[in-house]
Structure 1
Amino acid sequence: MRYTVDLCKFIVAATKFNTWQESSFPDCHVTVQNNIDKELRVNVSVNPDIEVCIYEHNIKNAASNYMCGINIELVAQLVFQEIQVSVLVQKPLKVVPCSHFFSNLGNSTRFSSYVFLDEALDVPSLEASIKISVITSLGIPRTITKLAMLPIHLVLESCTPEKDNKHKITLVTNQPPIGLNNLFSDYNHDGQSSPNAIGFRSASGNAGAILLAKSSERYRLQSDTFTMLSIMVEQLIVRLKKYYNNVIDFKISFNSSLPSSDILFYVNKHFETKLCINKLQGIVSQLSGQFRLIQKRLIAKYRAKNTTSLKSLELLLNDTYLEIMETTEKLDNELEVLSKSQTNLSCALNLLKQLVELFAMDSDLLKMVHSAFCINVYDLDGQSWEDVMDASLCYLLRTVMAKTEKDKLRAPHTSFDEVKDLTKFEKHLSLVLERLSKHVGLKESDTVFEEVEAQKQDNTEIEEDNQRDEKPIGSQYGEISLRLLSARKSLMKRHQIKDEPQNG
C-alpha cells in the first residue's frame, strides 16, 4: 500500500514538472515541429540557358553535350546536425551530383547540380524535385520539398511543324487564345515566328507540333509518337497557367475520352519484356548450376588414382560456358529494352495523369486516383509494376469508383498477387479509364446514374474476373438457398398440375 501511494506522488510530481517545463518554454516544441521553413530557408533557381557540358562525370551515354544547372541555396537560422539534399528527375534525365551532404551547418551555403539527357528517349516530365532531409540540433528529423521546372531547350529543339501527325490531343481553354510565339517566346531566336503553329523535335528524332485554332480556344498537340505528347502537354499547361495567372476563373479542359489503347500498348510492351527477362534469368540460373556440377566432377576426376579421359567433361564445360555467355548477353540486351519500356510507359502514365487533372472532379478524389497510379515505373525482383498497379486498380473499382453502393460494401482488394495473365489487368485498367472518361462513380450523390447502370449487364465487370471461391461465404449460401427455393416451388407446381384432373 505504501509503494502505491509513493508511486502516485511521483506521477503527480512528474506531471507538475512537465507542466512547468511546457509553460516555461511554450514555443520550443512548436518551433521544431511546424517552423522548419523559418529555421531553414531553401532557395532554388534553374538556369534558363543550357550550356555545353564540361562536368568531370562525363556523359558517356548522353544524347547531347548540353546540360542545365540547378542552383540551390540553404540559409540556416540554427545549427543543424545533418542536412542531405537530393535532386530527383525522371529517366532518361540524369543529375550529377544527385545528392549533397552537410554536417553542423549553421550559416548559408550555395551549391549546384547539373541535369543532362542520358539517353535519346522521350522525357516524361521536366519537373525536378529537390528533397531536403534535416536533423535538428535536438535530433529530430524533418523534410522539405521544392519543385523546379527545367528549360524545354534541354530536350526539345524547334523545327518546322508538320501538317499531320499520328497521335493528337486537343485542349480547350475558357479564355481568348494567345499566339504560340508569345507562349514559347524562348524559341523565337530559332526563327520560329508563326503565331498559330510551332514544331518540336526530340533527341530520339521524333517530331511534334502545337497548333492553335484560328476561330476558337483550342490547342491541338500532335506527335509522331504517343510518348512525346507528355512533355508537350506539360509545357503548354504550365505556360498557359503562368500567362493567365491573374485570371481567377481560368480553366483548361480535356473533353475527349482517355487514350486507353495507346496506354495498353506500352503496358503490353513492358509486360512482355519483363516475362522475357524472367525466362532468361531462369536459364542463366540453371546453366550456372550445371556449370558448377561439371566443375565438381572434374575436380573429383583429377583427384582419382585411376584417371580416365577428361575430354568429354572439358567439352561439356566449354559448351556450358559459351551458352552462359550467350544467354547473359541476351539478358543485358533485354534489360536495356526494359529500361526503355519503363521510360515509355512513364511518359504514357504522366500524360494520363495530366489529362485526368483537367477533368472536373473533387480534389480529394483526384488525390486518391493519383496515389493509385504508379507514374514512376520500377520493377523489383519479387514484385513488378503490374503487381502493384493491379492491386491499386482493384481498390479503386471497389471503393470510390464502384458502380453502386452494394459494390462499395465489398471488402477492398488489398493483396499483391503476381500478375501472370495480362488479360485481367487490361480489363481493370480499361474499366478505370472508361469510368474516368465518363465520370462514373465520381459523384456519390448521383443516384440516378447508379440505378441506370445497375440495370445494365456489364460483361467486363471486375467480379467476373474473380473465381467463385473468392466470394463471401454468406453470398454463396444465399445463392444456393434461392436456387433451392425456386426448384421447390417449380416442383410443387408440377404436383398441383398432376393432381388437378384427379380431383376433378
Structure 2
Amino acid sequence: MSLFKTREWWSTSVGEAEEFDNGCLCVANIDNESSGSDKVILGSYQGILRVYNPRPQKTESGWSGYSPEDVVLEQAFQQPILQVEAGKFSSGSENLVLAILHPRKLSVYSISAIAGSVAHGSQYKCEGLYEHNLQRTVHKFCYGPFGGVKGKDFICVQSMDGTISIFEQESFAFSRFLPGALLPGPIKYVPRLDSFVTVSSAWRVECYKYQVLAVASDSGGKDETQNIRSGKRVTFDWSFDIGEQGMDIAVIAFPQAPASILILGERSICCLTETGKLRYMKKLGYDPSCLLPYASLSEGTINYIVATHTNSLLIYQDVTLKWAAKTEFTPVQCQVANFKELNGVIVMLNDTGRLECVYLGTDPAIFVPPHVESRELNYAKMDAEMAQLQKRIKEKGQKAVIAPNRKPEEDLQVNIHVSPNLDEMSMATGVEIPEEDSVPSIQLRIQVKARMLIDNIKLEVHAPWPLATNRSDYSIPSVEPNTPAELFVSIFQRGNSLPAHLYVQISASYQSATGGSRITTLRAALPAKLVIQPVLPVKSALHKLTIDTNKPPISLNDIFPDMLGENAGGQGAALGFQFFGGPVVTVLASKTSQRYRLQCDRLEAMWIPLKELVSRLNQHFNRGKYGDFRASFDGSLPLQEYYELVDSHFECRLGATKCSEMLAQRASQFRVIERRLLTRFKDKTPTPLQNLDTLLEGTFRQILALGDAVEQNQMAEAVAANNLSCGTYLLNFLIRLWTDMTDEEFKVLENAVSPVVSESAEQGWQEMTDAAVTHLLRTVLAKSAKDAAVNPSPLSIPSDTGKVKKHIALLCDRLGKGARLMDGLAEKKERTIKLPTPKTISEEADTELSEESNAVDNVISPNFRSEKSRKKKRGVVRAVEELAPLGLPMMDKPTAGLGELSEAKNQKIRSMVPDLDDMSGGGDEENHIANGDS
C-alpha cells in the first residue's frame, strides 16, 4: 500500500464506451510548435483520433483542470486504431508527422496548426501524406533510423503471425519471417546496434541485425513480397531466456544512463546490455501493467516507472524502489510530457479512456478514521455489566436445546431400491458359466431427486467382477425438483468365479448451483441368492468351520426361508448352497448344542454363506430392544488353507512377469529376424534365405502363443485375486469372532490385512500386506523395544511368500494372546487352542520377527490336506500352472508346447528357434544363423 497518492494536474474522460490499450497513447510536439510543448495524442479501438493540448490555469484552489479548448483535433476513421507514433516518416520534410496503424493499413498524417484571425484561436488540420495497404493482419510497429540513415525514420510492422515488414517511408522494402515467432510479441529498434529486439514464443529475447534481415529477404514486387510464404532462414545475433512471456520492451538511450534494454515480464523486470548480457533482474510481487523509463540525473543508473494492477505507480532506480504513489485507476500506458506550465508530467491512460496528467507529491492516501468521543472508564459499572452477562450466559446454557449437527443438504439425492425377488426372466448376457441358463438376475430401481433444476447428470453403476450389469452408464438430461428420474438396471453374475462381496456402487456426477463439480456416491447390498442357489447338502467336505453362539439353536428353515429350494419341508438341520458354476457349501445346525457348522471343499467359498448365516442369526435374535446375541469362533484359524490362496495368487503374478519378459524377448527376436530377412530381399544378388522364413514363422507362432498365455494368465490372476479376497474376508471375520474385536479394532485389522487385492504388478497384495502387518507388529503389537526397532522392508516384489505368511501367523498369535490393535485398551485373556498342535510352516526367507516361531504353531489348523487332485477335477483354476499348455517353448514347464500344433512340428520349431539375444546387426549375425541352421 502506498503512503502517498499522485497529484492531479489535468484529467478528462475520453469518449463514451471506447476501448484503449498499450500503443494508443503518444506524447510529442506533433504540430511542430516552436516552443516545443508536447501534445497528447490518443487513438481508440473505435477509430477516433484525438489530440489534446492541456493548459490548466493556476488558481487559489489549485489547477483549473480540463476545458473544452484543450481538444485541438478530433477525427474519426473507418478502421480501429491500434497504435499511434510520432516520427520523421516523411521524405519531403524533417518535421514530426503521425503514423497510425490500422488492422490492415498503415497511414501517415501531417498535423499542422493554422493561426486564426478571430477570437477562437488556431485551427488544427490533419492531412494524409501516404498509406500502405497491408496483406496481413498486424499487431504492432516500431520505428527508427534503420540502416543508420540520418534524419529519417523507417517503420517495421509486425503481423499476427510474427512476420515483419519494413517500410522506408513511402516505399515498401521487404518482409521477413522470424523463426520461432508463432505469436507476436513486443518489438523495439535499438539504434546503436541497428537491430530489432523482440520476445519470441519460446519466452526468449532475440536480437536480429537489420542488415541480416535485408540480405535474407526475397526480391520481388510489393504484393509478391508481402505475400511471402517461404524465405531464407535468418539467425538471431544473440538471445536470452527470460522464462516468461514478455509484455513490453524499452530501449534505454539517455545520456547519463548506460545503454540497456528493459524487458517487462509477467512477474519480473529484466535489464540486459546491448550484447545480451544480464545486468540485473527484479522479481515482482505484483502484476505489472506497463513500463516507462525516463532520464536519470545519476550517472550509470536507470530510472523507470512501473504501473501495477493494484492502482500504484512504483518508481525504481535500477532494482531499488525510490517512490510509490497511489493512482485512481490501472494505467495501460504511461508517458512523460513537457508542457508550457509544467515539465516532467506523467500522462496515464486506462482501458476505458480515463486520461490523467499527474505529478508526484505528498498528499496522503491513507484512511483517516472519524474521531470518537472519549469517556471516562467506570470500572464498577463494567464489573456489574460483566457479572450480568455471565449470569445470562449461564441461564441460556442450561436451557439450550442441543440440536444435532446436520450436514448441508445435497443438491442431488440418489435412492436405490433392490428388488426382494429375482427377475422372472433373467437379463443375464455374456455369461461365462457353463450352465448359463440358470444364472438369475435382480433389478435395481434407482431414483434421482433434486432440490433444484440440475442438467446433464452422469450416472454410473459399478458391479465388481464377476458380477455385471446390463448397462453401466446413464445420462440424464435434466431433473426438476418435483419430478424425480427413475432408472432400472439388472445385476447378474457373468464371470466364472467366486464373488468377493455383494455390494454395487452407484455414483452420480453433476454441476452444483455454485458451478463446482460434485459427485454423489451410494452403495447397495445385493441378496445372496443372486450368486448361490439351494441344493441338497453334501455329507463330507475338506474344510469345516464351527461357529458357537450364546442362544439355543433354531431351525435353518427359519433362518433361510427364501433359500430352501429342494430342502423345503425338511427338518432344517442341514442346508446346501451352491455357487453358480462353483462349489457346494453345506450349513449344519446342531440339535443339542448352540453350534453351527459350515463345510466345503474350498475354504474361500464359505465366506459369503458364513456372513449370511451370522447376519441372519443376528437379525433373528436381536429383534427385541435388548438383544444380546453373540457369535464366536473357538477353533484354530485355517491359516494353512489361507496360505494356499496367497501362494496361488503370487504364482499368477510371477507367471504374468515371466510371460511379459518372454513376450518382450520374442518380439525383439522377431524384429531382428525381420531385419535380416528384409536385407536378404533387398539384396540385388539373390542369396539363400537359410531358413530365415521358417524361423520367422516359428517366432510368430510363439508370439501368438505367448499372447494367448498372457490373456489366460490375466484371467487366472483375476480368479486367484477373487479367491484371495474371499479368503481374506473370511480370515478377518474369523479373527473378529475368535478375539471378540470391537468395530474400531476390526477396521484396523482390515486395513492391515486388506481384502482388496490390487492388480498392480509393481506393488502387489503380498508386499503391501507384509508392510502393513509388520508395522502393527512394530507398534501396537510390539512386545519389546527390539521389535519396535526393526526396519521395514522395501515395497518390492518378494522372491516368495514366506515372510508375509510368517508375519500373518505372528499377528494371529499375538491377537490370540490378548493383544489389542488400538492403544489404551486392556489386554484380553489368552485364547486356548483345543485342537492338537500341528507342524509349523516351513520358512526359508529371513524375517526380523523370527524369535516367536514356536508360538506360530498354536494358530495353524491341523486340517490342512493336500487335495489338489480333487480340486482339479472340480475345474478350479488357482494359478497359471493349472491352465492348459499354452505353447511356451521357453517356459519352465517341460511339457509346454505350441498350442494346437503337433508335437513333431513343435520339436522342429524348437530346434530352429535358438536364443537370438546377441543378434544386434551386422554380417556376424547372418553367419551365426547360418551356422545354427546347418
Normalising by the smaller structure, the TM-score range is 0.7 to 0.9
Q: Which residue of 1 aligns with 2:612?
A: 235
**Cross-structure match for 2:590:** 213
Moved more, 168-177 or 287-296: 168-177
Q: Partner of 1:58 in structure 2?
A: 429
Question: What residue number does 1:477 align with?
Answer: none
Q: Secondary structure at the match of 1:310?
A: coil
Give the 3 Å change call, closer, same or farther, for CA 179–111 of structure 1 in structure 2: same
Cα distance between partner residues in 1 of 2:576 and 2:567:
11
1:389 paired to 2:766: no
Q: Is 1:348 matched up with 2:727?
A: yes
- Structure 1 residue 376: deviation in Å? 2.6
Partner of residue 489, structure 1: none
> Where do 1:269-308 residues align within 5 Å?
269-308=648-687
Is residue 744 of structure 2 the alignment partner of residue 368 of structure 1? no
Q: Classify the secondary structure of the residue corresponding to 2:767.
A: helix
Match of 2:408 in 1: 35
Of Structure 1 and Structure 2, the greater strand share is in: 2
Distance change in 2, residues 1:297/1:182 (3 Å): same
Decide whether the 8 Å contact of 2:535 with 2:565 is kept in 1.
Answer: no
The answer as to 2:3 corresponding to 1:2 is: yes
Aligned residue identity for 1:200: F
What letter matches 2:783 in structure 1? K
Distance verdict in 2 for CA 1:9–1:373, change over 3 Å: farther
Instruction: Give runs of aligned pairs for residues 400-415 of structure 1, distance below 5 A.
Output: 400-404=780-784, 407-408=787-788, 410=789, 413=792, 415=794
Alignment equivalent of 1:259, drawn from 629, 632, 638: 638
Rounded Cα–Cα distance in structure 2 between residues aligned with 1:114 and 1:201: 22
User: What does 1:414-453 align with in structure 2 at a 5 Å threshold?
Assistant: 415-442=794-821, 444=823
Matched to 2:767, the amino acid is: D
2:548 and 2:594 in contact (8 A); partners too: yes
SS at match of 2:430: coil
Deviations along 1:154-203, one digit per CA (max 9) or x if unpaired, are 22221222333221112222233332101100134544232222111222
Consecutive unaligned residues of structure 2, counting only runs of 5 or more, are 5-323, 328-364, 370-405, 830-841, 852-934
Give the one of 544, 547, 558 matched to 1:171: 547
Distance 2:672 2:795 in 1: 37
Deviations along 1:71-93, one digit per CA (max 9) or x if unpaired, are 21111113345544433333322
Which has the higher Rg, Structure 1 or Structure 2? 2
Identity of aligned residues (%): 27
Residue from 163, 186, 202 that aligns with 2:579: 202
Q: Which amino acid aligns with 1:51?
A: D
Q: Which whole-Å CA distance do the structure 1 matches of 2:492 and 2:729 have between them?
A: 20
| TM-score using structure 2 length | 0.43
State the alpha-carbon separation in 1 of the partners of residues 748 and 668 from structure 2: 47
**What secondary structure does 1:416 align onto?**
coil
Question: 2:304 is matched with which residue?
Answer: none
Task: Note the C-alpha offset of 1:222.
Answer: 1.4
Aligned 1:137-148 pairs, distance under 5 A: 137-148=513-524
Residue 463 (1) aligns with residue 848 (2): yes
Equivalent of 2:471 in 97, 116, 131: 97
Given the superposition, is the C-alpha separation of residues 143 and 431 from structure 1 closer, same or farther in structure 2, using an over 3 Å criterion? Answer: farther
8 A Cα contact 2:767 2:796, kept in partner: yes
CA 1:430–1:186 in 2, change beyond 3 Å: closer, same or farther?
same
Which among 716, 729, 735 is matched to residue 337 of structure 1? 716
2:462–2:472 CA contact under 8 A, matched in 1: yes
Partner Cα separation in structure 2 for residue 331 and residue 216 of structure 1: 51
Letter in 1 for 2:3: R
Deviations 1:396-431 (A, max 9, x none): 2222222236644x4774842222232212212222
Write the distance in 2 (CA, Å) between the matches of 1:54 and 1:182.
Answer: 27
Task: Provide Cα deviations, 1:253-312, integer angstroms capped at 9, x if missing partner.
Answer: 223332211110110111112212211211111010111111122222222322312242
Q: Which residue of 2 aligns with 1:398?
A: 778
Paired position in structure 2 for 1:18: none
SS at match of 1:222: strand
Instruction: Give the SS at the match of 1:323.
Output: helix
- Kept in 2, the 8 Å contact 1:81–1:139? The answer is no
Does the Cα contact within 8 Å between 2:767 and 2:795 map onto a contact in 1? yes
In 2, the alpha carbon distance for the partners of 1:93 and 1:77 equals 33
Offset, 1:150: 1.9
Tell me the SS of whatever aligns to 1:91. coil
1:255 and 1:134 mapped to 2: Cα distance?
Answer: 50
Q: Which digits, 9 at most, give the CA deviation of each residue in 1:132-153, with x for residues without a partner?
A: 4454222344444433332322
What's the CA shift string for 1:200-238, capped at 9, x where partnerless?
A: 122234222111122232111111211210111111122
Q: After superposition, what is the alpha-carbon deviation per residue over 1:68-122, rounded to whole angstroms, capped at 9, x for unaligned?
A: 1122111111334554443333332222323334455344111122221113333
Aligned counterpart, 1:319: 698
The verdict on how the C-alpha distance between 1:89 and 1:411 changes in structure 2, with shifts beyond 3 A counting, is: farther
Per-residue CA shift, 1:412-469, capped at 9, x if unaligned? 748422222322122122222333344434465689999xxxxxxxx99952579xxx
CA contact (8 A) 1:93 1:115 kept: yes
CA contact (8 A) 1:44 1:73 kept: yes
* RMSD, aligned α-carbons: 3.4
User: What is the rounded CA distance, in whole Å, between the counterparts of 2:516 and 2:573 in structure 1?
Assistant: 54
Other structure's SS at 2:657 match: helix
Cα gap change, 1:54 to 1:422, in 2 (>3 Å): closer
2:565 is aligned with 1:186: no
* Partner residue of 2:421 out of 45, 49, 54: 49
Q: CA separation of 1:443/1:318 partners in 2, compared to 1, >3 Å: closer, same or farther?
A: closer
Cα pair 1:373 1:392 within 8 Å, conserved: yes
SS at match of 1:120: coil
- The CA distance in 1 between the partners of 2:773 and 2:627, in whole Å, is 34
Q: In the alignment, residue 318 of structure 1 is paired with which amino acid?
A: E
When residues 429 and 194 of structure 1 are mapped into structure 2, their CA distance, relative to the original with a 3 A threshold, is same
More contact order relative to length (CA 8 Å, sep ≥ 6): 1
Look up the match of 2:911: none
TM-score by length of 1: 0.76
The AA in structure 2 aligned to 1:217 is Q
2:374 paired residue number: none
1:73–1:275 Cα change, 3 Å: same
The alpha-carbon distance between structure 1 residues 129 and 413, as it changes in their structure 2 partners (threshold 3 A), is farther
Q: Check conservation: 1:206, 1:223, Cα contact below 8 A.
A: yes
SS state of the match for residue 100, structure 1? strand
- Alpha-carbon separation, structure 1, partners of 2:822 and 2:748: 14
**Equivalent in the alignment of 1:129:** 505
Q: Find the residue that maps to 1:228 and give its secondary structure.
A: helix
CA distance in 2, matches of 1:354, 1:9: 70
- Inter-partner Cα distance in structure 1 for 2:807 and 2:781: 12
- In structure 2, distance between residues paired with 1:102 and 1:172: 50
CA contact (8 A) 2:820 2:827 kept: no
The letter for the 2-side match of 1:42 is V
What secondary structure, in the 3-state scheme, does the structure 1 residue paired with 2:604 have?
coil
SS of corresponding position for 1:48: coil
Give the Cα–Cα distance (whole angstroms) in 2 for the partners of residues 320 and 154 of structure 1. Answer: 46
